Amino acid sequence: MQKNTLYTILISIIILGILSYFVLRTTKSNTVEYIAITPIATHSNGMEFIDSSTCVDCHQKIVEEHYKTAHFNSFQPVNKNTIKGSFQKGENTLILNKDVTFHFVEKDSAFYQEPIFNNQNTPFYSAKMDIAVGSGTKGQSYLMWNNNHLLQLQASYFTPTDSWINSPGAPDQLAPARPVLERCLECHTTFVQNISGNKKGNQFHKKNIVYGIDCQRCHGPVQDHVKYHKQHPKDKTAKHIIQYSSLSRQQRLDACALCHSGLRTETTERAFSYMIGDTLKKFSFPDYDESSLEELDVHGNQYGLLKASKCFTKSNALDCITCHDPHKKERGNFLSFNQKCMNCHASLKKTVQCSGDKNNIEKMNNNCIQCHMPLVKSKTMKIQIPKGDEISVDVRTHLIGIYNKEDQH
């Protein structure tokens, strides 16, 4: 009898031990499972944006490279690092016309543009430059907050001349600041929320903004992805995220064409409503005749031009990512770009190898790009300079083809 009691007690202790082990284990992992992520903004569709610094833990290299790209720097609050125009004496003025001169002034770490009539001592107005649009590769334009109204200021910065300019398209008289519509912001930043909901409105929520073209602009919602991978650090297969490799060629092209196919007219949908994986033509259509190459400007329409190239029409895989690493600042890295041409051309039949003059090609260091994707002057991104001349930015055409046959053969 005594032996039996002892036996029961012993068994009970063992069972209790096993039970409490499991109970404790689940409670413990429950506390680990709670992962706090503080959203930095909320999309009108409910999606919450998180700071891209959250991605550093697992994608450090991509994040660091991304911060250097033109994409990320395309829309940023103005500070001494982001503003490209000069505030040095001798470089901080712009003569608008014979009566008015703009002065560019730095006061308490803030930056202002101030037009002064030549017969007066005080500025006509002093406008704070709050946001810089453009990484400064070709130029920069400045926006100002007036309460919740967002306005584009008259003076801009132009990289080819490294100077302040009157914005392209602005009159050569002092003009009122232009209202900025959500469509302008859609191509330059990740998210901005329109207050009135009216496409023509220029009032935005100052706090509900995600600056620059960030991870979530191209990858969509990521919260569940981050939570899952923090909970399962050993799982090295991407979960809860749209995979580019699972998209069709058109879906992949659309992800870039959203902003790289020139001006578009929106159909029923609102700005910022297209999401990765969607079909772009359901949201907007081009503002130009797609079949007329004459109408495509090299500035901002890489998609339209590429689509008309033989490399594109005669292959079934070529898209923007064939040549571009979307996370890297690659400007000027011709070695890497040329490698992309050769990778594909080497796999084609012999007749599509370069038939240009061997000596010339060697002289150009085998730089395929220089001859087949030459720099072309933009029809829209240009300014008038005093002597009546025009200066326009040079843009790499994406109509890959044979140019200047005579001088290169």
Q: Which of residues 119-138 bind ligand HEC (CB under 6 A)?
A: 133-138
Asked if 43 is part of the footprint of ligand HEC (rule: CB under 6 A), the reply reads no
Select from 321, 339, 384, 385 the one that contacts ligand HEC (CB under 6 A): 321
Candidate ranges 21-29, 106-114, 282-290, 350-358; the one touching ligand HEC (CB under 6 A): 350-358
Select from 40, 41, 43, 63 the one that contacts ligand HEC (CB under 6 A): 63
Q: ∠314-319-324 over CA atoms, to 5°? A: 130
CA 120 to chain centre: 42
User: CB neighbours (10 Å) of residue 107?
Assistant: 9
- Interacting residues with ligand HEC between 67 and 126 (CB under 6 A): 70-71, 74
Mapped onto helix, strand or coil, the DSSP state of residue 280 is helix
- Interacting residues with ligand HEC between 181 and 210 (CB under 6 A): 183-184, 187-188
Decide if 355 contacts 385 (C-beta within 8 A): no
- Nearest approach in angstroms of CB 215 to ligand HEC is 3
- Nearest approach in angstroms of CB 365 to ligand HEC is 8
- Interacting residues with ligand HEC between 150 and 169 (CB under 6 A): 152
Rounded Cα–Cα distance for residues 207 and 332 (Å):
36
Closest CA to 356 of 280, 407, 292, 286: 407
Rounded Cα–Cα distance for residues 288 and 298 (Å):
13
CA 57 to chain centre: 22
**189-192: long-range pairs with CB below 8 Å, 24+:** 189/74, 189/75, 189/213, 189/217, 190/49, 190/214, 190/216, 190/217, 191/41, 191/43, 191/49, 191/217, 191/272, 192/272
Residues 6+ apart with CB under 8 A from 111: 78, 83, 87, 104, 105, 128, 129
- Interacting residues with ligand HEC between 272 and 311 (CB under 6 A): 299-300, 302-303, 306, 310-311
Select from 47, 62, 100, 195 the one that contacts ligand HEC (CB under 6 A): 62
No. of H helices and E strands in the chain?
A: 13, 19
Mapped onto helix, strand or coil, the DSSP state of residue 262 is coil
Select from 151, 211, 229, 392 the one that contacts ligand HEC (CB under 6 A): 229
Q: Kindly write out the interface string for residues 360-399 of this chain, putting x where it contacts ligand HEC by CB under 6 A and - elsewhere.
A: xx--x-xxxxxxxx---------------------xx-x-
Q: Which is nearer to ligand HEC, 245 or 292 (CB)?
A: 245
Select from 40, 50, 94, 96 the one that contacts ligand HEC (CB under 6 A): 50
- Nearest approach in angstroms of CB 363 to ligand HEC is 7
Which amino acid would we find at residue 112?
Y
- Nearest approach in angstroms of CB 143 to ligand HEC is 7
Q: Kindly write out the interface string for residues 5-34 of this chain, putting x where it contacts ligand HEC by CB under 6 A and - elsewhere.
A: ------------------------------
For ligand HEC (CB under 6 A), the number of binding residues is 105
- Nearest approach in angstroms of CB 28 to ligand HEC is 20
